[in-house]
A and B are shown apart, each in its own frame.
Chain A
Amino acid sequence: MIASRVLAAIAPRLAAVLLGAACIIWTVIPPRHSGLAGVALVLSIIGVTAGALRLALADVPQPEDQFFPSAPIRAWLTFLAALRALPWEEIAVVALLVLEVQHPARPWHTAALGFGLVAYLLAVHIGESGAPAGGLLRRQARLLLAGTCLLALGAGFAMLPTAGPGAGSALLRVLAAAAVVAAAALVLPGRE
């Protein structure tokens, strides 16, 4: 009984950590040795690790105001405050995207990364809010399915041979992909 409760409490947090680690590994392979890639990799690792720590320490209460706390307690309070104040997941996501664009174009790889990042953010949300994962995913299933289709469309669109040389054609492709996304968002039914 207690074991099942503990497992139910830590499972989403563990899933978030694993998904974050998977996204990092997925993005970093094959390794790039440029300076920006290294910085992005370090930032993404810090972001995922700190996010995992924040989730793990989410249940630790903020102690009441104390007069003249000792140095270790002051350091612990500062650490907790920094952990809870900064948007670690956003930092990790941006760093991972920067790391991804350091590689040559690989559309299906990027699409899989996008899927992994959305899954990571959902797992983080479930872990920190305690929301029932089954109900949440059931409600968003249609949207997630549509999003996955759009991911696949975007990846497939990127794999089409270029219509012509020059920057204009590339911009057109970006605009076309954005139009597909906007159209899907507008016509999607069932906004309950």
Chain B
Amino acid sequence: MAGPDQQVEVRWRPSRHARRLLTLAFAGLLLATLTRRPELVGLAAPALLLLGVARPGFQGRSGRPGRPDRLTVRVSLASSRLYEDEVAAVDLAVDDTRFDARWLLQAGRGVEPASATGVNGSAARFEFTVPRWGRRHLGSAALVLHDPWRLTEGRAEVALPAVDCYPDPAMQRTRVVLSRLPNRLGEHAARVAGEGTEFAGVREYVPGDRQRAINWPASTRLGRLQVNTFAAERSQDIVLVVDATSQVGPPGHSALDMGLRGAAGAARAYLDGRDRVGVICYQWGGARWLAPSLGRRQFYKIIDTMLSADAGWGHGETFSRLPRAALPPGALVVVFSPLLDQKFVETLRDMRERGFGLFVVDLLNTVPPARRTFTDAMTRRIWRMEQQAIRFSLRELGVPVVHWDGVAPLDLPLAPYARRPLVVHR
């Protein structure tokens, strides 16, 4: 992805090599004068000769001005969007090839340089990774130009663009499917008979049935014509809810990090299954939402919506006033949360009482720090019991709560619920 060419200003000055030669020459001449020893002038001669050729106004074969004040640099990114720890590259090229060029990458915060190719040349390629999601500025690249004698050097600073780093989606291949699916064509086998491909049962033939559906072994055994029936194939609405109110845990593995990775993995898995997926980011004082929809494009829209949320004070819709488009009836709501915010837990209870099918992925993987005192131990114990009580109360309401450590695939905690359709009592 080539960006626009940048005009950069070049500042020329004597190189360190030139300064050293100058020191040698001046010291030789000074000592020659002081000690009246002419051989020291000869000692200064090579340095003076080398310095003499590096005069201003140097011109190359092309006849262009010797030391240009401005240069055109082309900056192109392999991709402006990448996942965490994915290797990406930025290509830099300068239009003036008369000078010995050297490139140095000054990586921005949160950007880790990986490798570099062609740093001693007119075109260079820097590879980098971004360990944590978010919008990252790549920093800048320093271009150092040397004349052929290496006695003057020009320095230019090239600003590099920013990249959007997406959370690395968690591995999820299985899907939790509701027992009641909306009447919309999809890929999940429903409980009602239809025109799908999954065998559902055998019933007696009635006029109008297709002949190719006749089950001849069953017909021979029972003496009457029997036909195969198939399950209808339906899709479902999935609403992913990411709790952005709690940022607990070590950086890079906090509850918010795991929530974003888990939600991204779930979004990809359900979108691959032709389901309509939407997202709600729950923040302090509000929520950002994206209505469920289909397709690969929806995946990037979901991640963009999640990245626009942070652990600060939200300015979106109030959670209790979300429109029907954001939370369609009959949708499966998959929640990623450490369940630390009591208000959020109350919201989940409220949603369950309104008849939504909820599924909670518990992201709490840390405990409050405590000293080795009786009070701290007791406090921690009470805190643990309180957390267990919150999860127990949700389970009592019929909300499955599974724990995910953020490292293992999401299939592991979901396995007990992915084997058969999830029954939700309204």
Please give the residue numbers on chain A whose beta carbons come within 8 Å of chain B beta carbons, in ascending order: 87, 89-90, 93-94, 97-98, 100-101, 105, 107, 110-111, 113-115, 117-118, 121-122, 124-125, 128-132, 136, 139-140, 143-144, 146-148, 150-155, 157-158, 167, 170-171, 173-174, 176-178, 180-182, 184-186, 188, 191-192
Contact = CB atoms under 8 A, between A and B. Distances in A.
Contact of A188 (B33, B47, B49): B49
B40 A130 contact: no
A147 B45 contact: yes
Given A90-B20, A93-B20, A170 B36 contact: yes
Tell me the dominant secondary structure on chain B's binding face.
helix
22 contacts: A94-B23, A105-B37, A107-B42, A110-B40, A110-B42, A111-B42, A115-B46, A117-B43, A118-B21, A121-B17, A121-B21, A128-B16, A139-B149, A143-B46, A154-B40, A154-B45, A174-B33, A178-B41, A182-B48, A185-B48, A185-B53, A192-B60
Given A151-B43, A174-B38, A188-B53, A121 B20 contact: yes
B41 A101 contact: no
Contact of B50 (A117, A147, A154, A177): A147
B20 A150 contact: no
B307 interface: no
Nearest to A186: B52
B43 A174 contact: no
B134 to A, nearest CB: 18
B16 A151 contact: no
A191 B46 contact: no
Interface stretch (B24-32, B235-243, B247-255, B341-349): B24-32
B142 to A, nearest CB: 13
Given A147-B50, A151-B43, A192-B148, 18 more contacts: A87-B20, A89-B20, A93-B20, A93-B23, A93-B24, A97-B43, A115-B46, A118-B47, A121-B24, A125-B20, A131-B146, A151-B45, A157-B38, A176-B38, A178-B41, A184-B49, A185-B52, A188-B52
Nearest to A102: B35
A136 B146 CA distance: 11
A177 B20 contact: no
B39 A158 contact: yes
Closest 3 CB pairs of A and B: A154-B42, A147-B46, A114-B43
B388 interface: no
B19 interface: yes
B321 interface: no
Interface residue SS majority, chain A? helix
Contact of A174 (B21, B41, B150): B41
Nearest to A128: B16
Given A117-B24, A121-B21, A110 B39 contact: yes
A157 to B, nearest CB: 6
Nearest to B109: A64
B150 A136 contact: yes
B414 interface: no
Given A90-B23, A101-B37, A157 B50 contact: no
Contacts of A90: 19-20, 23
B38 A158 contact: yes
A63 B46 CA distance: 39
A148 B52 contact: no
A73 B228 CA distance: 77
A94 B20 CA distance: 10
A130 B104 CA distance: 12
B31 A98 contact: yes
B100 interface: yes
Contacts of A178: 29, 41
B191 interface: no
A144 B46 contact: yes
Interface string B45-81: 1111110110100101100000000000000000000
Contacts of A131: 100, 120, 146, 150
Contact of B42 (A139, A177, A191): A177
Contacts of B45: 114, 147, 150-151, 154, 180-181, 184
Contact of A129 (B38, B39, B150): B150
